[in-house]
Amino acid sequence: MKSIQISFVVNGKAVTLSSAPNRTLLEILRDDLGLTGAKDACGGEGECGACTVIMDGAAINACLVFIGQADGSSVETIEGLEDNGNLHPLQRTFVEAGAVQCGYCTPGVIMASKALLDENPNPSNVEIREGLSGNLCRCTGYVKIVEAVRMAAEEISHA
């Protein structure tokens, strides 16, 4: 197994590294870059969304991307959402709406929500539920998550 060279941008910073090709974007983010916000909850099957990050504008499961496939891409993780010390509205509304319980799904859900709002700034509840259907949460029953996304959407559209 030959290692490969990867250059990509993570949260606005250029990263170049060498890796075995059988490692995933999730492993690199967590183990090499110390970005542990994205979680592995389903064992790398793309069934839970806990590792959701935004790659080239699209929400994706970082466990389903071999690191070589991220070469040349731009990746945004939960750690990169803060802007000059200001939290993203979603980060705030998730706390304010009580949408965070154990929190293990939260970074993935927030990133999936961000991708949703980037594309559709004013989604209906049905669209929010559809947009987040790849993110499992076992604590909240999703009620307050949907509420948090709606609150953030309103805040963003009034900003």
Binding to other proteins in span 102-141, by CB under 8 A: 102-107, 110, 112, 115-116, 125-126, 128-141
Buried b (16+ CB within 10 A) or exposed e, 49-67: bbbbbbbeeebbbbbebbb
N-term to C-term CA, the chain: 51
Nearer to other proteins among residue 45 and residue 155 (C-beta):
45
d(CA 89, CA 22): 36
Q: Give the shortest CB-21-to-other proteins separation in angstroms.
A: 3
Among 7, 86, 98, 155, binds other proteins (CB under 8 A): 98
Closest contact distance (angstroms) between CB of 12 and other proteins is: 15
CA distances (Å), 96 to each of 50, 127, 147, in order?
21, 21, 10
- Quick one: which of 10, 28, 65, 117 contacts other proteins (CB under 8 A)? 65
The first and second tokens of residue 158, run together, are 């009034």
Encoded tokens for 54? 């935004």
How many residues belong to the site for other proteins (CB under 8 A)?
85
For residues 24 and 65, is the Cβ–Cβ distance under 8 A? yes
* Nearest approach, Cβ of residue 14 and other proteins (Å): 19
Rule CB under 8 A: which of 71-90 touch other proteins?
Answer: 71-72, 77-79, 81-82, 87, 90
Window 4-63: residues binding other proteins (CB under 8 A) = 4, 20-24, 30, 34-39, 41-50, 52, 58-61, 63
CB 32 within 8 A of CB 40: no
- Looking at the Cβ atoms of 137 and 153, the one nearer to other proteins is 137
| Smallest distance from other proteins to CB 114, Å | 12
